[in-house]
Amino acid sequence: MDTPEHREAPIRVHFGPGFHAAVGHPIDRTAYDRYVGDWSRLFVPTVLAAAEVAAADRILDVATGPGEAAALALSQVGPAGLVVGADIAWAMVDAAKRRLAGARFRPVVADGHALPFADGTFDAVLCQLGLMFFSDPAQGLHEFRRVLRPHRRAAVCVIAAPEHAPMLGVLPDILSQYLPDQREVLHLMFALADAERLARLFALAGFREITVMRETREHRFASFDDYWAPIEDAPGSLPQAYRALPDARRQAVREEVRTRLAPFEVDGRLVMRIEMLIGAGRA
């Protein structure tokens, strides 16, 4: 008999701001690096080039996270430049601050939909793996353009379609079987996988000289266990959702992911390619 007492209560995942970590929990940057940073940084040089970052520039890095793009930007702007790292999650801003402490890096807790800066403040705006998580990406891009100086560029990096990013595409599909109410959130990372849509969003925000490039990189994991380990303790929406499941379901998810990724195993290692879209435009 199907009674309320016999139905299993839905599992709720209380995502923190920016989907990084629950409020009050610090960010383990080592876990973040192993989960995202080690491969996402492969795309950062292309993002900075698309934004035309140069010596002595004032840079805004939106959704800075633990400062991956900000770190490379600092090396390019030199001692006369400045990098401001903004993120909606205090824990991420704190991680970036500890990593990049110094006069040329200024961390700010801020919502990318309403940036707390005057018009025309920055020479470039960067957003590495953040825009797809905005509730209103068009408003975010409008803000990026507003704080840019005339004729300067903004550049964003977003994840392409799940089939072109297996290291990320498999897990949300499997988690959605156990958390159907969270399916939309679990797939947000692919919300801007359409290159034409991304270009249109830049145009609607008033950008010109818009470009959207497809970039692919390869990343290798020593083993499946090496790939999986950071999911057990990393920040991010998918690890949080996974850890909300009961023990038996977590084990089932892990084994199904292993099965789905088996075709990418080469001599015990996981070798996977991941595609990103790099969108940019001039104010």
Domain presence at residue 93: yes
- Contact between 265 and 258 under an 8 Å Cβ cutoff? The reply is no
- What's the helix, strand, coil split of the chain in %, to 5? 45, 25, 30
Model confidence pLDDT, tens digit, residues 193-233: 999 999 999 999 999 999 999 999 999 999 999 999 988 88
Domain presence at residue 63: yes
Cβ of 44: how many Cβ atoms within 10 Å? 20
Domain presence at residue 7: no
Residue 211, domain extent: 17-161+190-220+272-282
Between 3-7, 113-117, 121-125, the lowest mean confidence (pLDDT) is in 3-7
Model confidence pLDDT, tens digit, residues 76-121: 999 999 999 999 988 889 889 999 988 799 999 999 999 999 999 9
Domain presence at residue 146: yes
For residue 248, the 8-state DSSP code is H
pLDDT confidence band for 137 (50 / 70 / 90): very high
- Contact between 224 and 261 under an 8 Å Cβ cutoff? The reply is yes
In whole angstroms, how far apart are CA 104 and each of 101, 107, 165, 225, 253?
8, 10, 34, 38, 43
Cα separation, 101 vs 80, whole angstroms: 16
Q: What is the CATH number of the domain that holds 139?
A: 3.40.50.150
**pTM for the predicted model, two decimal places:** 0.91
The total number of structural domains in the chain stands at: 1
What are the counts of helices (DSSP H) followed by strands (DSSP E) for the chain? 12, 8
Domain presence at residue 96: yes
Model pLDDT, residue 91: 85
Domain presence at residue 2: no
Domain presence at residue 254: no
Residue count of the chain, please give it.
283
Question: What is the Cα 31 distance to its own chain's centre?
Answer: 15
Model confidence pLDDT, tens digit, residues 24-76: 666 777 777 777 878 889 999 999 999 999 999 999 999 999 999 999 999 99
